Every structure is written in structure tokens, then in C-alpha cells.
Structure 1
Amino acid sequence: MNADPAAAVERFLAAHPELHLIEAWVVDPNGVPRGKWLHREEVLACCRHGRALPASLMSLSVHGEDVPGSGLVWDVGDADGLAFPLAGSLHALPWRREARAWLQLALDPERGGPAAAADPRNVLARVQRQLQADGLQPVLAAEFEFYLLDAQPGADGAPQPLRLADGRRPDAPAVYDLDELAGVGEFLSSLYAACEAHGLPARTAISEYAPGQFEITLEHRADALQAMDEAVRYKRLVKDLARHHGLRACFMAKPFAQQAGSGLHLHASLADAGGGNLFAADDPHGSPLLQQAVAGLLATAADFLLVFCPHANSYRRFRAESYAPLKLTWGVNNRTVAVRVPAGPASSRHLEHRLCGADANPYLAAAALLAGMHHGIRAGLAPPPAVHGNGYAAAAPVLRADWTSAIDAFAASAHVAASFGELAQRTLAAIKRHELAQWQGEVGAQDWRWYLERA
């Protein structure tokens, strides 16, 4: 059982007599937190005996609608399964107007009912076990790019960047601009303090390329589940604290047509039983094992693209010279490729995967990343020559970045079935086909703007 020891929970509740309601939540396949409020007297029972949650929670569209095609609604009678708390996830939220805490849960692999295998965290655990069975321990870290927006939309109803501390609304690129960081200093200070209180390893902050766009790195962890647990909670903290500061944190892949998109860059290496880095090499291209992992990522990119780019908006991010890769390439110290090997000392050699949008579910994105790496290693694949210079101009296969193709490739992939399991594969494919049909059936402002007078 993945639960905090009851004694630790009792100590927490005793230290916080003001808490009467605790948010208990799981992460659905879209990465959306879903759950309920527990009264403080219910939390210990949740730790000891689990909490019943319906199977349909793992088959919801991004809007929160049941997707019957997943097989997890009517086919199973929307049966309950038991979810248990994750160790270290019970924390107070002192900035909330009313005293609150949160507690992250996951469906138990054995007692979680028919939907347990579709729980994104369990998918990642499955893939990590596959690597560990071959003596490979994943080491991961996440970097999210995100926008801080004004809580109120502009006059045209569109979202707009926040006002900085000096009252100025940024309207031009300000990459690595220290004044831009200072302009959101109050928010960043409170975010760092909250991360420390929640045990999240938030490190370097930068002002990203677009106005009001930022990034904070999370430290590498020698356990994929820990790394992505922290990534999920970090993303929730950013959104929650932004609301507290009268802002809106936006992790859409492409919120503005003329501005940079936001990515989720995953940094990965593999360790041996003693913790030694198996990617370490004096060669900047990394060890042979690293190069096999890169080859696997390129070979399976189409199979897993739906995970890296799960929404219709995700595909708007792919534009030439936008820092989102358009071709299946890799290179050393090169941000124009899909898989980058950063510069650094031999002992720190690792790869950076740059396909994901910030809208990706971290658990599933990490699972797809590791599955691709594992495929390359098991098959002994060799990557194409590393790209030097402009990856957008490289003679390399073009990434077919459209939502329909990504859904079809994911649903048909033997790689996905073997790594994720057929239930998780079927569930996500059904959810995305449901959303695609809704997206294609919606008529809105763009249609009227283009065709109302001209068709």
C-alpha cells in the first residue's frame, strides 16, 4: 500500500487542528486532478483501508465527460476501486482563504478495480519495472514552460499577459531577462517557499522567450515515480498560487498564435544497481547505451506522439524555428532537435526530450519516454548521424504532427500495447477520439471570421 504511516498522518492532523477538509485527488489520463473533499476524520481510514473511486474517473474527457468507448463506464458498471494515498503527499495549503490541505491518491494496482491499469501513475510504474528487470534504473527531471496571465481577459476576450510589479504589461520577447523575473518576484518567492514546504526540488528560474512566459527546473530524481509525482504536484502548486496572487498560470502548448509555445522538457538517464550513470562518457555524444536510447526515441516517436502532444492545441506548437522540433533528429548541445544531449561533464551525460508540450500528462509522457528508450536499447538500434547547426533544415524524417494521425498511430501501436498495456492504450485512444469528434463538430469564431461572408 502506497500510504503514509498512520502515525505520521495523525501527527499532521494534530499539528493542524484548523483543518477540517482535505482535498483527496488522483490524476486522470488527461493530467487533470479529480477527487473529493474528505473530512479530517476520514483521512486515517483512507490511509488504512483506501478510498473507493469509480472506474469512470480514468475514462473522462478533458471536459470531465464519460467516454463509454473506453470500456470503463457501462461495460464494468462503473465499478469502484480502491485508491490509497501516496507517501509524502499530505500537505497544508496555508495561502488558501479557508484552511485546506491536499492528499494525492493512486488506484491500487491489485485492488483498484477495472480502471487500475489505466491510472497514469500505474502505467509509469509498469514501464519503470520493465526497465528495472533489465538492470536499468531511470533517472528523470522535468522542466515546464508556462505563461503567467492576467486573471481577467482583454477587451477582445482573449487571455493577456500579467502586469509586472512596475505596472507594465510585457509585450516583447524577454528571454533570460532579470527585470522580468523581478517583476514577478513576489509570486516566485511564494512558489519557492511552497515548493520547499511540499518537498519539491524547484531550482533555477528563468524568463522564457515570450512575454510573461517562465520556466523553473526540477531536480533529477533516481526514481521515475518520485520525479513525476513531484512534477504533477509542482504544476498544481503553480496554478494554485497563481490564483492566490490574482493571476492565471497557463500550461497550454500554444496559447498565443504569434508567441512561443510552452514545452515540457524531460531530462533522462539510466543508472546501474550502484547508481552509476550508464550514459556517462567523455564523448559528448554519450555512451553507446545513450545512443541506443536516442535511436529508440526517434523510432517510436510517432507511436507515442499522442502522449507527448495530447490535445488539439498541442499541434499548433510545431512551427519552424520555434524551439519545437519538426523533424526526428538528435544532436549535442543543440536546441533545434527532437532529442538533445546537453553539454556538461562526462559524469552528468543525459538526454533531453523536447517533443512534449507543457499540456502533457507527466506520468504518461515519462512512461512513453522510457518505453522508447527501452525499445532502442533492447533492439540495439543505432541513431542517425547527429545534427549540427539548424535542425529545421536537416535532411531527416519530418514529424507528422497532426492530432488525427497521432491518435491512429497510438491506437495501432504494438510498442504502446507492450509497454503501457492494452487497457491503458484503449482508454486513452477512446478518450482522444471522443475529444476529436467534439473538436471537429464545434463551430466558432474562427469559422465565422474565415467563411461567414466568403463561403
Structure 2
Amino acid sequence: MKLSQFPTLRVAAADLNGQMRGKRVPASYSGKLGKGAVRMPLSVLNVDIWGADIENSPLVFETGDADGILFPTDRGPVPMPWLETPSALVPMSMSHEDGAPFLGDPRQALANVLERYAARGWSVMAATEMEFSLVDDSSKHLRPPRDPRSKRRLFGPDILSLDELDAFDDFFTELHKGCVAMGLPTQTIINEAGLGQFEVTLRHQSALRAADDAVLFKMLARGIARRHGMAATFMAKPYLEDAGNGMHVHFSVLDRGGNNVFDNGGPEGTEILMQAVAGCVQAMPASTLIFAPHGPSYDRLVPGAHAPTGACWAYENRTAAIRIPGGPPVARRIEHRVAGGDNNPYLVLACVLGAAIEGIEEQLAPPAPIDGNAYDLDLPQLAPDWGAAIDLFESDPFIARCLPAELIRNLVMTKRQEQAKLADLAREDHWKLYLERV
């Protein structure tokens, strides 16, 4: 893509909540981007969900709010088809003045985890399934959107309905064109179980690229929905009595020869697969904050509501938190089903893959796979609420081995500030804060 064809560019990196923070620059800046011309305070990637500085943050008070340097990522620039004026976004990552990665940058934290796989000569392939809801936010309360044909509101679930997909054909056609323009490898879009709820599946690719594309897809869906008089939200639970939005992560690991290290030629998978599963199961309760990062996230984590609440795994069982899908052995993979749609994809991938490689390196053995409905079993549970999740994430020694210390510290400070501020916001107004920020 020739950046000179665009009047303006956006250069930005994702903060801890997955929000892009950066600058608008003229196209003439494009030749300078790889030379460290764009600088921002390190603390910018550590703001809260409102976009406010973290009180008493070491990034501000111990370093004098030092600048970091933004460099373009290998994802490359993408057009922004939801804007009227042709524009391009150049995704960036943050480094310290000396060139060392700033591990408070979620993308750099994921890259740091992936280095542990690279040290073994391995690469991680990942894919996401992302659920989102189309909503009408024009009144005091969220409402389902209107069917563009009849102008009547959607009134109930319509699972795998082609008719409902076709009702929003103009939106999905423009969304698909945007995905093509941005190089987002969408495979399928389906109607899900909730009111105006849909799911998109993105193709397997390198884990870092998968996280990049999940973040970009969220931006695209929200932008295109606005062009069609609606909002697209990835909130975990847009309506309390309806299905919630999740994000499933699929991943496998390839060796230098391109062989899947999870594949033993049969349905059960290799010992390495079992070790990776063991790491993911062991880390799961203390990882709750990553999978449910906001106060309203916990409305989704209730038993029997299609969101895993117990740390377990199984073969071909969609009630389990971790599922080993069937299919050809060469495609053997792990499906991690816990995260809500309101997550930061970089942090989810970093946490899941960090737990998996820790399980492999420690040669952990998983518990037995479950049979039957996971909600009927006595299992170790995810953290029950936001406060407990923050405390557990901060203190858990296994998490400390999975993720960079700087990331853990900054995320805990961010979430404690958000928790205190959210207490002053009426519950019925929570959606106004989170609708398009997650």
C-alpha cells in the first residue's frame, strides 16, 4: 500500500484495554515512521477505560512520564474504510529509548511470550471466533436493531438463520469488502444465539497476526455499523437476559519442519498437547482478569449460560473451557473458550500461550478430561467477581511465570482504578461507557 495516496495517516498502538492510542499525521510523515519519528509517553498505553492517566503510576512518577518510541509493526498499514475521507492506519508498537521492547505494550507482551516458542524452533498458529451484537443505542437503554426490511425490531434468537443474515445484507456486504481491503482473513459469518448477535471466524495464521487482525476487525465492525445507523458492540453481556459475546481462540504449534507438535496421528494428541492443556487449566482461575477484564464482564460468567466457569478440558465437548476439536490429526489444536468478547486480543493470546508454554516447560500433566456437562461437575472455578480476579491475577505465581512483570503491575493498577471509578456510575449507565470501547 502506498501511504502517499492518503491525505492523512493514523499511527497508533493498542493500550491495555485494546483501544488504539496515537496520532494523526500527514502522509509526508510515512518515510519517517520506521526511524523513530513518532514518540508518545509510555503511560499512554496504561490509561484506564475512560482514557485517563493512572493515579500514582510508576510510569509517570518514577520516570518523569518518559517518552517511548513507536515503530511500525510487521502487520503493515491498512485502509480505514469506515471513514468518509480516505485514510490509513499504521499499527505501531512501543519501545524504550534504548530500543528495548516496552512490555507494558500488550502487543510487545505477546511477542515476548512467542519468543519462548521461537527459542525451541516453534511457531504458533492461531485463529479467533469473535461474537458481537448489532444494537440500537439511540435511547436510554440498549435495544435490538430493526430489521432493515420490515423496520420491526428483532424479537428473539434466530440461530444460524440465513434470513436474519440477509436482512442485514447491506451491512455484511460492506463489512466483507472492508475485510478484503484490510487483509482480514474472514472465513464464515453466522447468526448466533442472541438478539442481533453474530459470529465471525478468522483463518489460522501466525499468532501475532491473529491478534492484530482481531483488534482491527473490532475497529472495522464498529465503524461500518455506524455507517448503517447501528452500533456494533463486543460487550460480554449487552442484555442481561440474553446470550453473551465471547471470543474463542484456536491454536496449534509447528516445529521447524512445519509439523504440528500436537499431532501423534490419532485423536488423543501428543504428550506436548497434554502439557499445554495442563498449563492452560492451571492458569485459568488466575487468568480470569484477562478473560473478563471489566466489571460488566462478570454478568456473562454464570453457570449454564454458554460461558465456561470451571477450569477443565475435554475432547469434543463445548461445555468445557478447553476443547480439543476432532478432525484430521494433522490439524490437532486447542480451543480455549473462556474469553468474553470485551477482551484485549493481545492479552488473551499472551495469557493463553504463556500458560501453554509454561505447562510444556514444566512438563505438567492435566487432570482427566471431563465427560458430560461441565456445569454439573465440581470443578475449580474462575474468579467470582472483578475484585477477586484482580487480586488473584496480581498474586498468582503461575501467572508471574507466564506474563511479563511490567504488564501484570500495570494491568492491576489500571483495573483497580477502573473498579473504583465504576462504583460511582449507575449500573444502568454502564453500557454507555463500554459500548464501543471494548
TM over 0.5: yes
Equivalent residue, structure 2, for 1:393: 376
Match for residue 21 of structure 1? 8
Give 1:141's aligned residue.
127
- Structure 1 residue aligned with 2:386: 403
Q: For residues 190-209 of structure 1, what are the structure 2 equivalents within 5 Å?
A: 190-209=174-193
Match of 2:114 among 111, 119, 128: 128
Amino acid at match of 1:274: G
Aligned match of 1:70:
57
For residue 366 of structure 1, report the CA deviation from its aligned partner. 0.2
Between stretches 48-57 and 427-436, larger displacement belongs to: 48-57
Residue 302 (structure 1) shift: 2.1
1:425-440 superposed matches below 5 A: 425-440=408-423
Distance, in Å, in 2 between the alignment partners of 1:445 and 1:254 is 13
1:171 corresponds to: 155
Does residue 1:311 correspond to 2:294, yes or no? yes
**How far apart in 1 are the matches of 2:134 and 2:221?**
10
Q: Once structures 1 and 2 are overlaid, which stretch shifts more, 131-140 or 60-69?
A: 131-140
Pick aligned residue for 1:220 from 188, 201, 204: 204
Unaligned runs of 5+ in 2: 431-438
Moved more, 348-357 or 277-286: 277-286
Partners of 1:70 and 1:428 within 8 A in 2: no
Normalised by the length of structure 2, the TM-score is 0.93
Deviation of 1:320 (Å): 2.0
Q: Secondary structure at the match of 1:116?
A: coil
Q: Report Cα offsets for 1:55-85 as digits up to 9, x if no partner.
A: 1212200101100343112221111111012
Aligned partner of residue 96 in structure 1, secondary structure: coil
Q: Distance between the aligned counterparts of 1:387 and 1:170, measured in 2?
A: 37
For 1:130, the aligned partner's letter is R
1:81 counterpart = 2:68:
yes
Q: Tell me the CA shift for residue 444 of structure 1.
A: 5.5
Give CA deviations for 1:195-246 in whole Å, capped at 9, x if unaligned: 111111011111010110001100011x221111111111111111111222
Are 2:87 and 1:104 aligned?
A: no
Matched, 1:261 2:253: no
Deviation of 1:95 after TM superposition, in Å, equals 4.4
1:151–1:246 CA contact under 8 A, matched in 2: no
Take 1:304 and 1:362, find their aligned partners in 2: how far apart are those partners?
A: 14
- Distance verdict in 2 for CA 1:347–1:109, change over 3 Å: farther
From the superposition, tell whether residues 56 and 332 of structure 1 become closer, same or farther in structure 2 (CA, over 3 Å).
same
User: Residue 43 of structure 1 aligns with which residue?
Assistant: 30
Q: Kindly provide the CA deviation profile for residues 145-192 of structure 1, in whole angstroms up to 9, marking residues without a partner as x.
A: 000112523xxx111121223223211111111111111111111111
Query: Counterparts in 2 of 1:336-351, with a 5 A limit?
Result: 336-351=319-334
**2:308–2:321 Cα contact (<8 Å) kept:** yes
- 2:308 paired residue among 325, 329, 336: 325
1:379 aligns with 2:362: yes
Matched with 1:296 is 279
CA contact (8 A) 2:80 2:220 kept: no
Q: Which runs of 5+ in 1 are unaligned?
A: 1-7, 448-455
Answer yes or no: is the 8 Å Cα contact 2:285–2:380 preserved in 1. Answer: no
Separation of aligned partners in 2, 1:340 and 1:254: 23
AA aligned opposite 1:305 = T
Q: CA deviation at 1:371?
A: 1.0
Letter in 2 for 1:141: A
Report the CA distance between 1:37 and its aligned residue. 0.8
Indicate which of 212, 217, 242 corresponds to 1:229: 212
Q: Measure, in 2, the Cα distance between the counterparts of 1:165 and 1:281.
A: 50
* Residue identity in the other structure for 2:268: H
3-state SS of the aligned residue for 1:146?
A: strand
Q: 1:375 to 1:93 in 2, by over 3 A?
A: closer
The DSSP-based 3-state class of the residue aligned with 2:61 is coil
CA shift for structure 1 position 298: 0.8
In 2: Cα distance, 1:107 partner to 1:206 partner: 36
Partner of 1:5: none
1:161 equivalent in alignment to 2:144: yes
In structure 1, how many angstroms separate the alpha carbons of the residues matched to 2:229 and 2:99? 38
Q: CA deviation at 1:406?
A: 1.0
Q: Take 1:51 and 1:169, find their aligned partners in 2: how far apart are those partners?
A: 46
1:92-143 CA distance string (max 9 Å, x none)? 3344222322211111366468x81200000000000012213332111111
Residue 79 and residue 352 in structure 1: after superposition, are their counterparts in 2 closer, same or farther (change >3 A)? same
Give me the whole-angstrom Cα distance separating, in 1, the residues matched to 2:426 and 2:223: 32
* 8 A contact 1:81–1:111 mirrored in 2: no
Amino acid at match of 1:165: P
Aligned AA for 2:10?
E
Q: Is the 8 A contact 1:333 1:341 kept in 2?
A: yes
Counterpart-to-counterpart distance in 1, 2:157 and 2:282? 35
- Larger displacement relative to structure 2 (134-143 or 307-316): 134-143
CA–CA distance in 2 between the matches of 1:267 and 1:322?
21
Q: Structure 2 vs 1, CA of residues 235 and 59 (structure 1 numbering), >3 Å: closer, same or farther?
A: same
Aligned to 2:43: 56
Contact 1:58–1:72 (CA under 8 A) maintained in structure 2: no
Residue identity opposite 1:296 in structure 2: G
Alpha-carbon RMSD across the aligned residues, in angstroms, is 2.0
Give distance in 2, aligned partners of 1:427 and 1:400: 20
Query: Shift in Å at residue 251 of structure 1?
Result: 0.5
CA contact (8 A) 2:146 2:152 kept: yes
C-alpha deviation, 1:303, in angstroms: 2.4
CA separation of 1:184/1:393 partners in 2, compared to 1, >3 Å: closer, same or farther? same
What is the CA distance between 1:311 and its match in structure 2? 0.6
**1:252, 1:262 within 8 Å by CA — same for their partners in 2?**
yes
Q: 8 Å contact 1:81–1:112 — kept in the other structure?
A: no
Question: Aligned with 2:59: secondary structure?
Answer: coil
**Whole-angstrom CA distance in 2 between matches of 1:78 and 1:168:** 52
TM-score when normalising by structure 1: 0.90
Correspondence 1:183 to 2:167: yes
2:133 alignment partner AA: Y
CA distance in 2, matches of 1:361, 1:417: 19
